Amino acid sequence: MATLRELSEITGYSIATISRVLNGDETLKVTENTRAMILEAAGKADYPSRQNVNKKSGTGLHLKLGLVEMVTAQESEKDPYYLYLKNNVEKCCFANGMETFVMQYDTEGECYRSAVSRELDGILAIGQFREEQIVAMEKCTSRIVFLESAPFPEKFCSVMPNYEVGIRQGVDYLIEQGHRKIVFVGPEFSTDSTCQQAPELRRKIFADYMGRRGKEAEGILLDAEWQGDDVAELIMQYVQGFREPEERPTAFFTYNETTALGVFRALQIMGYQVPEDFSILSYNDTVLATMMQPKLSGIHINIEEMVKHAVWLMEKMATGEGEIPLRISVPATLVIRESVRSVQRC
């Protein structure tokens, strides 16, 4: 895991600038390219460099793979998780002697295009895609593996994080620490595997599991778009609505780290401390979590394992072994740092 000083040496920007970018400080006057460079450097610094990768560790197939993303560079700045996922895909493919070519969707032509015109052995697709985009991928190749979505499971292989395991781990941990009033902060709806609006999965799992825990703790749903400013305003209104301190929740469980930043910002504005006054537990657990103060406890999505399984599925298809479309669910891991404290109960 890179330190702020190491990131400063890599990017050439000051430690203060890097810290403010990673903590979502929108008052910082830097260009979008600068923000993107710092976020990408942080994501890449979390894993071994390409110079240290042994290309002979793969199968020797030397596949040529198209790399398709659902998000733009600007969108990835808002949620760096997908940027880290893409970086891992590129590094794992490189380690296995595979070439990757970024492909862009041409809306007018309803097709995918690449700067390099070559026949593809397969496509690794990151995120959720509309049905017409999936049809366009099929025109390039029938070998497609989806990461972070599972459209048309009768046709395509996919690798997904197991959100149920992660939410259960988070809720169990907060209850074990004595928290009896827990707020889930995140959107009510999100997009499913084909970009259709659907109930947000993490929120739904949280509500269902808190219901099964019965009288042990109260689960509260605070619907919010996950971007920082919207969350901060909502949290301030919510906390200020309690007349007595004992009525307030003691812990926030956030949809992702961008949401956690919004909660942090609101509590700081109101003069509260984390975790002394409120605890925060976040989903995703990217490198951003270690650069917050205090360091953020979270549910770690095992990105590296997801990518390894996606590449393995692609290799099986390339060798003719992947006749049955498989869906692999990778469990999450609870990472305990500094943003959650134990609550004493009488």
Q: Chain-wide mean pLDDT for the chain?
A: 86
Closest CA to 122 of 328, 320, 346, 337: 320
The pLDDT assigned to 51 comes to: 34
pLDDT confidence tier of residue 119, bands split at 50, 70 and 90: confident
The pLDDT assigned to 31 comes to: 72
pLDDT in tens, 288-328: 888 888 999 999 999 999 999 999 999 999 888 877 999 99
Range of weakest confidence among 105-119, 164-178, 297-311, 320-334:
105-119
The pLDDT assigned to 228 comes to: 54
Residue pair 286/80 in contact by the 8 Å Cβ criterion: yes
Residue pair 333/299 in contact by the 8 Å Cβ criterion: yes
Closest CA to 129 of 154, 157, 148, 101: 148
pLDDT in tens, 277-298: 999 999 998 888 888 889 999 9
What pTM value is reported for the model? 0.80
Q: Which residues contact 289 (CB under 8 A, 6 or more apart)?
A: 257, 282, 295, 296, 297, 298, 335, 337
Q: How far apart are CA 310 and CA 312, in angstroms?
A: 5
The pLDDT assigned to 109 comes to: 87
pLDDT in tens, 21-59: 776 666 677 776 677 667 767 766 654 333 333 334 445
User: What structural domains does the chain harbor?
Assistant: 4-161+302-330 (3.40.50.2300), 162-301 (3.40.50.2300)
Percent of the chain surpassing pLDDT 70: 85
pLDDT in tens, 227-267: 656 899 999 999 999 988 888 999 999 999 989 999 999 99
Q: How far apart are CA 283 and CA 296, in angstroms?
A: 10
